[in-house]
């Protein structure tokens, strides 16, 4: 089943009087339970596409179907609800609240959830998820007392606390050394395989993209490669960009 | 999002930078503290000022007998004898707004001591209540005469400072005897100095004695404003024994036979007095005191509806006005100070909240990314500002109250706790929080999550 379907998405920014097209007709699909890497050089429209996929931004035109709903016409509050319920974000710079314990950082998104959990339930859930990412002995530590890898694991726990169906990771290993990167990436793989969470990794690093089963390449606002689930269900990440190949 | 979560989130936000939160609230703490201290010291001073002004006689009401008229010629106020000492007692007894009442009998005659003499501007026969009405209880020396002296028509008197200066020249007058129209009075006390009143009339040029003594021993007639000593000086008849003890009756009324008493319950001839000096319980009760005195006297004097009063009541309108305007001025002044300091505190809050919003841009972006709506962000920052202000307000109340307590403790300034000011301080500090917290909170809620997340 197709969880995400983008149809002919355009995004144009206007800087002063000039219209700058960033996405020039992007279509792609992501199926339930996939681990996809979104690759592209800086300025390729990768971040814009990521923002649209993450419901942080609206396309100028085109359709975005998420789990059977058309998302692109929702207003800001409705999109906030979709982000809270369906999406989890992992950022390059972790974005943890400073001077706040790991437990409270993880429980934070729960306070914006429509079906309210009691304080105790929220903490219980946050604790369980922190245990799953292997931080059961770091519950009360503030971010400043955690290593980079540990901080990113707290961030992953925070993304998972509302049991989202999609995890969006924006350069999740950009601030980590290669060993911890490997740890974090294998955690993504585990989550994908064991829990069936759909994961979209945004990266420009081939080493990271290799962990994905499919690589979507974007160049200059157009998808170059891997826009749709291939029949064999897997795409070879080492395939080079075929020049001029549109979608 | 539940209110509980909003408040918790805000508290967490504040707790993450306690130093800054403290400094921010300092503005409100000082503002509210200043307001509370000013209000407490101010109301204290204001009521002290009121007390001082009313000691000048602002609450005094003068009841005078009515006007006689004959053939269209009016003889002026006090020209008929209608007031009795019993009227004074009835006023005190039946009018709740009247604090004190003293009958007054006036005389104007020569006072002699040794080889010196003087005609004081006022010789008043009265009761000890006169001193309460005129707020004159602080005697320079000696003791006031008593109600017993009034009953017995004892020949004792109190002298004003001017009179003492003129007659005694530095000598202590206590226990000395002076002659008033050839009646010997023993001086029991000297009044404190009051100086001139607002009309320039010397209030210390006065002799006070029991009204019975003045009435029966010194003068028999009402309202003797002429200098009686000039007419009596050469008259030999004035020195007879009967003049020293005129009437020879200790009672106020002539004795009645039983038949008389049954046939006519009214006294045949009553003892009239020249005026009744009363004081209202407070400045605000002057109006009601006048009404009550009118009612009591009309009833006692058997005046039918439609007939005019046989008495006049005078109040000190000029002084009362001064008093009221002083109080209003004080209150307005305090209000201005309060407003200015609270606005300054509020600007401090807004300033710091704006800094805080900028500093926490990434946090705002993150909260939006995980599902916070614009109004959640708005509420969080607004509640933060209000919490800051309320905490500041509470601490300010304690500070202000403590401050005014210390002022009372060390400077002995009059201080009055004002619950109204405390309630207003709480409301105003919450209001300041909302008013000055709104713009930063609104700015935070309008942020674009993408921009906010990327903010360095």
Which residues touch A136 (CB under 8 Å, ≥6 apart)? A127, A130
In this complex, do B368 and A116 lie within 8 Å of one another by their Cβ atoms? no
Tokens describing residue B413: 């300034």
Tokens describing residue A169: 């990771």
Mean pLDDT calculated for residue range B422-439: 87
Q: Nearest CB to A83: which of B9, B16, B370?
A: B370
Assess contact for A141 and A130: CB atoms under 8 A: no
Q: Nearest CB to B373: which of A56, A77, A109?
A: A77
Residue with tokens 């990794």: A201
What integer pLDDT is reported at residue B1 of this predicted model?
Answer: 55
What integer pLDDT is reported at residue A230 of this predicted model?
Answer: 62
Tokens describing residue B336: 């201005």
DSSP A112-149: G-SSPPPHHHHHHHHHHHHHHTT-TT-TT--GGGS-HH
Give the gap in angstroms from C-alpha B30 to the nearest C-alpha of chain A. Answer: 29
Mean pLDDT calculated for residue range A216-245: 65
Which of residues B315, B346, B367 is at a domain's end? B315
Which of residues B294, B315, B336 is at a domain's end? B315
Does residue A163 sit at the B interface (CB-CB below 8 Å)? Answer: no
What integer pLDDT is reported at residue A166 of this predicted model?
Answer: 94
What integer pLDDT is reported at residue B210 of this predicted model?
Answer: 93
CB pairs under 8 A between A and B: 67
A238 inside domain = no
pLDDT for residue B234 is more than 70: no
Task: Identify which of B362, B350, B371 has the alpha carbon closest to the alpha carbon of residue B5.
Answer: B371
Lowest mean pLDDT among B108-122, B210-224, B347-361: B210-224
Nearest CA in chain B to A76: B373
Q: What is the pLDDT of residues B218-232, one digit of tens each?
A: 875 434 444 444 444
CA–CA distance, B121 with B225 (Å, rounded to integer): 10
Whole-number average pLDDT of chain B: 82
In this complex, do A112 and B12 lie within 8 Å of one another by their Cβ atoms? no
Residues B103 and B134 in one domain: yes
Q: Nearest CB to A98: which of B16, B372, B453?
A: B16
Residues B175 and B193 in one domain: yes
What integer pLDDT is reported at residue B160 of this predicted model?
Answer: 92
Residues B305 and B257 in one domain: yes
Cα distances (Å, whole numbers) of residue B258 to B77, B249, B359: 36, 19, 102
Whole-number average pLDDT of chain A: 87
Q: Nearest CB to B371: which of A57, A99, A109?
A: A109
Q: What is the pLDDT of residues A164-196, one digit of tens each?
A: 999 999 999 988 999 999 999 999 999 999 999
pLDDT band (50, 70, 90) for residue A246? very low
Number of domains making up chain B: 2
A48 inside domain = yes
Mean pLDDT calculated for residue range A117-146: 90
Give the gap in angstroms from C-alpha B438 to the nearest C-alpha of chain A. Answer: 20
Q: What is the CATH number of the domain that holds A137?
A: 3.40.50.300
In this complex, do B373 and A81 lie within 8 Å of one another by their Cβ atoms? yes
Cα distances (Å, whole numbers) of residue B414 to A239, B38, B49, B51, B189: 91, 12, 10, 12, 31
Higher pLDDT, A204 or A246: A204
CA–CA distance, B438 with B431 (Å, rounded to integer): 11
Which residues touch B61 (CB under 8 Å, ≥6 apart)? B98, B277, B278, B279, B280, B286, B289, B290, B293, B313, B314, B315
Lowest mean pLDDT among A57-61, B232-236, B341-345, B416-420: B232-236
Higher pLDDT, B315 or A21: A21
Residues B23 and B116 in one domain: no
Which of residues B285, B315, B345 is at a domain's end? B315
Q: List beta partners, residue A160.
A: none
In this complex, do B369 and A56 lie within 8 Å of one another by their Cβ atoms? yes
**pLDDT above 90 coverage of chain A, percent:** 53
pLDDT band (50, 70, 90) for residue B74? confident
DSSP conformation class of B108: -
A232 inside domain = no
Q: What is the pLDDT of residues B300-322, one digit of tens each?
A: 888 888 888 888 888 877 777 77
Give the gap in angstroms from C-alpha A239 to the nearest C-alpha of chain B. Answer: 32
Assess contact for B39 and B338: CB atoms under 8 A: yes
What integer pLDDT is reported at residue B195 of this predicted model?
Answer: 81
What integer pLDDT is reported at residue B314 of this predicted model?
Answer: 85
Residue with tokens 């003797």: B224
pLDDT for residue B65 is more than 90: no
Number of domains making up chain A: 1
What integer pLDDT is reported at residue A151 of this predicted model?
Answer: 93
What integer pLDDT is reported at residue B423 of this predicted model?
Answer: 86
pLDDT for residue B375 is more than 80: yes
Q: Nearest CB to A109: which of B363, B370, B450?
A: B370
Residue with tokens 């800054």: B20
What integer pLDDT is reported at residue B285 of this predicted model?
Answer: 85
Cα distances (Å, whole numbers) of residue B248 to A100, A168, B157, B216: 100, 118, 20, 8
Residues B186 and B292 in one domain: yes
A236 inside domain = no
pTM for the complete prediction? 0.68
Does residue A84 sit at the B interface (CB-CB below 8 Å)? Answer: yes
What integer pLDDT is reported at residue A15 of this predicted model?
Answer: 86
What is the value of ipTM here, to two decimals?
0.90
Mean pLDDT calculated for residue range B398-427: 86
Residues B369 and B406 in one domain: yes
Most confident range (mean pLDDT) of A242-246, B36-40, B98-102 is B98-102
Higher pLDDT, B308 or A153: A153
Q: What is the pLDDT of residues B257-286, one digit of tens each?
A: 777 666 665 544 567 888 999 988 887 788
Assess contact for B267 and B253: CB atoms under 8 A: yes
Lowest mean pLDDT among A220-224, A235-239, B13-17: A235-239
Residues B202 and B103 in one domain: yes
Assess contact for B141 and B187: CB atoms under 8 A: no
Which residue intervals of B54-146 are DSSP H helices?
Answer: 85-94, 129-133
> What residues in B contact A99, CB-CB < 8 Å?
15-17
Cα distances (Å, whole numbers) of residue B26 to A88, B22, B431: 40, 6, 17
Residues B281 and B365 in one domain: no
Q: Which residues of B touch A (CB under 8 A)?
A: 1-2, 4-5, 8-9, 12, 15-17, 362-363, 365-376, 449-450, 453
The packing angle between helices B361-369 and B374-406, to 10°, is: 140
Give the gap in angstroms from C-alpha B367 to the nearest C-alpha of chain A. Answer: 7
Task: Identify which of A201, A205, A216, A202 has the alpha carbon closest to the alpha carbon of residue A247.
Answer: A216
Structural domain range at position A30? 2-225
B456 sits in which H/E element:
none
pLDDT band (50, 70, 90) for residue A41? confident
A73 inside domain = yes
pLDDT for residue A236 is more than 60: no
Lowest mean pLDDT among A74-78, A134-138, A163-167, B269-273: B269-273
Residues B301 and B328 in one domain: no
Q: What is the pLDDT of residues B394-406, one digit of tens each?
A: 999 999 999 999 9
Residues B7 and B152 in one domain: no
Phi, psi torsion values for A7, nearest 5 degrees: -125, 110
pLDDT band (50, 70, 90) for residue A159? very high
Tokens describing residue B70: 């004959």
Residues B331 and B403 in one domain: yes
What integer pLDDT is reported at residue A231 of this predicted model?
Answer: 53
Nearest CA in chain A to B450: A56
CA–CA distance, A86 with A78 (Å, rounded to integer): 12
A139 inside domain = yes
In this complex, do B369 and A111 lie within 8 Å of one another by their Cβ atoms? no
Q: Nearest CB to A111: which of B9, B16, B17?
A: B9
A237 inside domain = no
Nearest CA in chain A to B14: A99
Most confident range (mean pLDDT) of B5-9, B71-75, B76-80 is B5-9
Residues B41 and B127 in one domain: no
Structural domain range at position B44? 3-53+323-454
């Amino acid at each position: 089943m197709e969880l995400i379907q983008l149809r002919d998405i355009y995004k144009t920014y206007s800087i002063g009087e000039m219209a700058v097209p960033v996405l020039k007709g992007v279509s792609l699909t992501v199926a339930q339970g996939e681990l996809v890497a979104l690759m592209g050089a800086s300025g390729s429209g990768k971040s814009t596409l990521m923002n649209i996929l993450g419901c942080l931004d609206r396309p100028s035109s085109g359709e975005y179907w998420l789990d059977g709903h058309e998302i692109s016409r929702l207003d800001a509050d409705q999109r906030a609800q979709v982000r809270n319920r369906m999406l989890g974000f992992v950022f390059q710079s972790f974005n943890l609240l400073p001077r706040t314990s790991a437990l409270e950082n993880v429980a934070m998104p729960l306070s914006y959830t429509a079906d309210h959990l009691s304080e105790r339930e929220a903490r219980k859930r946050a604790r369980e998820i922190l245990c799953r990412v292997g931080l059961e002995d770091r519950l009360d530590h503030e971010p400043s007392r955690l290593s980079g890898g540990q901080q990113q694991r707290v961030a992953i726990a925070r993304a998972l606390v509302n049991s989202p169906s999609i995890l969006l990771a924006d350069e999740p290993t950009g601030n980590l050394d290669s060993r911890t990167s490997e740890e974090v990436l294998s955690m993504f793989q585990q989550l994908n395989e064991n829990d069936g969470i759909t994961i979209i990794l945004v990266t420009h690093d081939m080493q990271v993209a290799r962990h994905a089963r499919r690589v979507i390449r974007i160049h200059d606002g157009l998808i170059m490669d891997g826009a749709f689930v291939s029949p064999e269900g897997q795409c070879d990440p080492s395939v080079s960009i075929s020049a001029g190949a549109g979608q | 999002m539940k209110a509980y979560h909003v408040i918790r989130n805000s508290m967490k936000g504040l707790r993450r930078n306690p130093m800054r939160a403290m400094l921010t609230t300092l503005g409100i703490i000082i503002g509210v503290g200043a307001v509370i201290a000013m209000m407490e010291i101010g109301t204290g001073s204001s009521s002290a000022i009121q007390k001082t002004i009313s000691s000048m006689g602002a609450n005094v009401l003068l009841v005078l007998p009515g006007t006689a008229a004959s053939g269209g010629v009016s003889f002026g106020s006090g020209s008929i004898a209608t007031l009795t000492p019993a009227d004074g007692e009835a006023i005190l007894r039946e009018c709740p707004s009247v604090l004190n009442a003293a009958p007054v009998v006036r005389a104007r005659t020569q006072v002699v001591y040794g080889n010196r003499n003087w005609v004081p501007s006022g010789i008043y026969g009265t009761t000890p209540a006169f001193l309460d009405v005129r707020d004159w209880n602080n005697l320079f020396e000696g003791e006031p005469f008593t109600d017993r002296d009034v009953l017995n028509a004892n020949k004792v008197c109190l002298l004003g400072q001017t009179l003492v200066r003129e007659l005694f020249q530095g000598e202590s007058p206590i226990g000395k005897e002076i002659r008033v129209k050839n009646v010997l009075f023993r001086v029991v006390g000297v009044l404190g100095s009051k100086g001139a009143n607002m009309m320039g009339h010397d209030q210390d040029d006065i002799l006070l004695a029991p009204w019975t003594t003045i009435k029966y021993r010194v003068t028999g007639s009402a309202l003797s404003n002429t200098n009686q000593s000039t007419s009596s000086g050469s008259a030999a008849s004035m020195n007879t024994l009967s003049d020293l003890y005129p009437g020879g009756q200790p009672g106020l009324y002539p004795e009645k036979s039983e038949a008389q008493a049954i046939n006519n319950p009214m006294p045949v001839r009553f003892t009239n007095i020249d005026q009744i000096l009363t004081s209202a319980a407070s400045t605000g009760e002057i109006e009601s005191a006048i009404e009550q005195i009118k009612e009591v006297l009309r009833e006692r004097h058997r005046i039918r509806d439609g007939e005019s009063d046989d008495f006049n009541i005078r109040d000190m309108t000029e002084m009362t006005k001064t008093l009221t305007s002083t109080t209003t001025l004080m209150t307005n002044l305090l209000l201005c100070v309060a407003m200015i300091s609270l606005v300054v505190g509020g600007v401090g809050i807004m300033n710091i909240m704006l800094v805080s919003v900028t500093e926490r841009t990434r946090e705002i972006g993150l909260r939006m990314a995980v599902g916070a709506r614009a109004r959640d962000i708005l509420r969080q920052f607004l509640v933060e500002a209000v919490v800051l202000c309320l905490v500041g307000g509470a601490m300010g109340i304690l500070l202000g109250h403590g401050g005014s307590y210390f002022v009372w403790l060390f400077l002995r300034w009059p201080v009055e706790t004002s619950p109204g000011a405390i309630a207003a301080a709480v409301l105003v500090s919450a209001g300041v929080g909302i008013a000055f917290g709104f713009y930063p909170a609104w700015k935070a809620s309008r942020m674009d999550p993408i921009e906010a997340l990327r903010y360095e």
